Amino acid sequence: MTDEREENFTFSDAENSAAQDENGAAVSAAADESGAGRGTDVPAPDPYAARRADIENVLRKSFKKEIMSPFARAVDRYELLSPGDRVAVCISGGKDSFLMALCFRELKRRNKIPFELTFLSMDPGYKKENADLIRENAALLGVPLTVFHSDIFEAVTTVEKSPCYLCARMRRGYLYSKAKELGCNKIALGHHYDDVIETTLMSILYSGQTQTMMPKLHSDNFEGMELIRPMYFVREADICRFRDRNRLRFLRCACRFTEMQEKAGLAHGDEGKRLFVKKLIAELEAKDPGVEANIFRSMENIHLAAVLGYKEKDGTRRLFPNEYA
């Protein structure tokens, strides 16, 4: 990685101050354009402006080390952005995706690489109160959502085996399709560091294979489209601290199937397994600090000469002792 590229994603205190000045200038410019003070019609004041500015300031200053720097580091290390990219930032309504939107906006304010953002939200069949909460948070945080609808919740409600996996696959397909329709070449999802290590361990325990959640992927079904995960190095605990510090309330999984299982007092399928693995990793980390980092690093240190078999990118299997020499 060159120094020039690293500079593109570096945040200094001077830049933080400049960003605040730009925000103030932008507000003043908007007031001037609206005709404020000239006797013309003036738009109603934004009731969220002051609180939004406080939230952005907390992200910029108090959580620079825990959130903004890891976000920028992932973008840099895995080369998630290129000049001219049009990124569909996918907003599910949860804490991770809304924070990702704020981080992208902050990155764009300072970035030397030109890229464009579209904030895309799919309504897969939310109840009205859940859809309303997403729109309220978008208004509060100043995220201009493009919302479209699908019937995914209806489709997966009757699926007994791995409904969460099917739901995620269907969501991704709809998001790719809509993003491409809107002229984007990438979709950004809000998976964080903890999601990565949990997925890594789940693949071993429940799938009998070793693989992880990658920071970026080419789409198999939508030519020219990529998926990126810029929250890759951000810890979930820090996301929760940011949420609580700012007294924010976001959606959890609003799936009808999840609601039915929770009412029955049951942990269902994929999410039950993920919760178990999350708790297991936390217990191991408490007993032996460094376990979490080792799970993450294990995916960077696979020795092919010390495994019984592996798959090539094209699916070809290489098995011991056939490869033994």
pLDDT in tens, 183-198: 999 999 999 999 999 9
- The CA distances from residue 122 to 22, 95, 238, 252, 294, in Å, are 31, 16, 26, 15, 35
Residue 313 is predicted with a pLDDT of: 86
Where are any strands of DSSP class E within 211-259?
216-218, 226-228
Residue 44 is predicted with a pLDDT of: 77
Q: How many helices (H) and strands (E) does the chain have?
A: 13, 8
- The CA distances from residue 154 to 38, 80, 157, 163, 258, in Å, are 53, 34, 6, 11, 13
Residue 18 is predicted with a pLDDT of: 47
* Of residues 141, 128, 244, 119, the one with CA closest to residue 188: 119
Contact 97, 47 (CB under 8 A): no
Stretches where the chain sits below pLDDT 50 are 1-7, 14, 18-39
Residue 10 is predicted with a pLDDT of: 52
Contact 210, 203 (CB under 8 A): yes
Residue 143 is predicted with a pLDDT of: 97
Compute φ and ψ for 133, nearest 5 degrees.
Answer: -65, -40
- Vertex 188, ends 99 and 81: CA angle to 5°? 105
| Whether domain 48-300 has CATH 3.40.50.2000 | no
Residue ranges of the domains in the chain? 48-300
* 98/249 Cα distance (integer angstroms): 11
Name the pTM for this structure. 0.83
Residue 252 is predicted with a pLDDT of: 83
| Tens-digit pLDDT profile for residues 19-58 | 444 444 333 333 343 444 444 567 778 899 999 999 999 9
